[in-house]
Structure 1
């Protein structure tokens, strides 16, 4: 695992729109889509650092097309191997 990207939105539709745009913009792989509660949904992707960074940048803007709310986002380059156990 070279990098992990996370985008958290309020609303499933916004999360799916972000994921679709991310997958079209860069060579990434979906790790998980977690429904956290209270309408929060987290999309977790992995790939090369540059691809994940580009995908997260695109995903940050994509949620706007649905009227959803971007809550948080992050890119973790070269995560510790123990992170994979959490995901």
Structure 2
């Protein structure tokens, strides 16, 4: 099983909220991180199997871009099978404690 990380960054909180909601509903993924970047933009990260993260990312991007106003996806990325040193440094906090919150 190849695990992936998906991250969506948006301009506004409502857009990132819509993205997170759509991502969790669209794929069997775990929400592992939400935060603000230094520029004030919002981002959300999910983990799961590559196919599930890909499906979730598509839904999240559409939902964020559909928010009214100036909300838009600034950037997004899916990283299949991230290396252990990437997981140790970057904020993709997938832990055994976060696993029970994955939507099945």
TM-score w.r.t. length of structure 2? 0.78
Q: Matched residues in 2 for 1:7 and 1:74: separation?
A: 7
TM-score by length of 1: 0.92
Gapped runs of 5+ residues in structure 1? Answer: none
Q: Higher strand proportion, which one?
A: 1
Structure 2: which 5+ runs fail to align? Answer: 92-104
Bigger helix share = 1
Which residue in 2 is equivalent to 1:23? 24
**What is the RMSD computed on CA atoms of the aligned residues?**
1.3
Larger Rg: 2
Corresponding residue for residue 61 of structure 1: 62
* Larger RCO (CA within 8 A; separation ≥ 6): 1
Matching of residues 1-87 of structure 1 within 5 Å: 2-67=3-68, 68-85=71-88, 86-87=90-91
* Aligned residue-pair number: 87
